[in-house]
Amino acid sequence: MELLKAKTKLLLPLVAFFASLICAASCSSDSDDDGGGGASAGLSVDVTEVIFWGAYEAQYIKVMSGKPWKVADYPVWLSISKTSDNGDGYIAVSATLNSTSQMRTGTMTITTDDESVEIRLIQGTPIKVSPDVFEMSPYGNTKTVKIDAIGDWTVENVPEWITVSAMGGSGSEELQVTADNNVVGTKRTAEIEIHQQYGRKVFTVTQEGMEAFTVTPNEVIVLNDGIAFDYNYGSETYGFYCEVFSAADVVEASEEELKTILRKQGIVRNSKDVVSYVCNCQPATDYYICTMAVDKNGNECHVERTPVRTASLLNDRSPKTEVKDISMTYKRLKCSFMMNSYANSYRSFVYCSSSYTSVFSKPDIYFAWEIKHNKYSYYFTGNKNGVVYDIPETSKYYLIVTWSADASGNMSDVIVRATNTSSSAKPHVPSVLRHTNMANYNMSDMDNGNVRIAEGFDVVE
């Protein structure tokens, strides 16, 4: 029993000794692990220098401290969001307008009861740019920008589509800013910087896309031997040039070559009534409608190239509606319509005039457009007998025209024309691009006073 007591007395001091070691180790580990979001042990900041590029632009300083701290000193031209805090925090700082001719500097001091840190503050001289926001024309132009600064400056962040007259200067100078044509088609923006060592000013340039300065085909109608179309006009477009080329010719031609050819065709004034057509094309062949817009100052945009393919030659498989039993009784024209097995519906139209040439010299593509858009054309879905048309008393000649569609609604590659004279045969028309005016549903060729007829269409003989 005595022996047990003696052993117990010896063990108790050892247990106490090891317990104290464990406690010390635990306390040491707890004090070293300060990553749980608590306050920092000492005083520090995340920046030691702040540069103010302009006035009233806030910047942020992070203060890290395990104690309460305060801002002990800062210059009068500095605005701060807080002057003291307890533990980690942020200070928002901004500079007032530097109305002097010199760069200004200062120091902000942050202290605790036993530590302090200093942050150097720098504000450059003011830079003025006038105008600092402006818009360029879609087809490119030049603007003058006035720079007012003290000392040397440079121009930075200039995109590829903008050219400036100088990449730097000194004091007050004028800068010429030139934009290229915006052939991208969408609005684009550039923020160009006038930069000094401790100062900068950004001016913004925007440019609308060329869709505001373009003319492109709107609705296009094709037969196996002709193409007809009207136009979409951009808001900046005043007039345009147009010609139709084979696809092979367009692929091989440069932009400037196409412009040179287009300029020879004569300018066409914008009008919702203008329709252009070309005949004697090859069936199932690729062409390009090339257009070039012009604004009211004579500036030209790039050449728009719109692909179009003529219809395939279906021959006996073409949907057709024949005109039968034609008779005329005192200006009342009477006839019947008979569809072939490929036709499911058709449109009919009577073209009449006091001029023989006006009636019988028009190509099929001319009448295809007329049939589709004239308010006096008829639409039928079956064979018809005894259809009557009233003919104006002044008209000496007439032509009945039909254009059929198949069961899927696809228009035929040909139209059918008929009259009670021997002139119903298809005429030979020169292979040139012609522009017509649809005003008042009168599709007569425009005279040279309004538009010059194109001089040639090289692909078609």
The better pLDDT of the pair 330, 447 is held by: 330
What's the pLDDT score for residue 191? 96
What's the pLDDT score for residue 124? 79
Whether the CB-CB separation of 268 and 220 falls below 8 Å is answered with no
Give the confidence band of 443 by pLDDT, cuts at 50, 70, 90. very low
Q: Which residues contact 324 (CB under 8 A, 6 or more apart)?
A: 335, 336, 337, 338
- Give the number of other Cβ atoms within 10 Å of residue 414's Cβ: 22
Q: Which residue has the tokens 């700082």?
A: 93
What's the pLDDT score for residue 147? 93
By percentage, how much of the chain surpasses pLDDT 70? 81
What's the pLDDT score for residue 248? 86
Q: What mean pLDDT comes out for the span 28-40? A: 45
18: helix, strand or coil:
helix
By percentage, how much of the chain surpasses pLDDT 90? 48
Q: What DSSP line would sit under 305-370, residue for residue?
A: EEEEEPPP--GGGS--EEEEEEEEETTEEEEEEEE-TT-SEEEEEEEEES-HHHHHS--HHHHHHH
372 membership: H or E segment, kind and range: helix 364-373
Chain mean pLDDT for the chain? 81
Give the confidence band of 330 by pLDDT, cuts at 50, 70, 90. confident
Bridge partners of 114, per DSSP, are none
End-to-end CA distance of the chain: 134
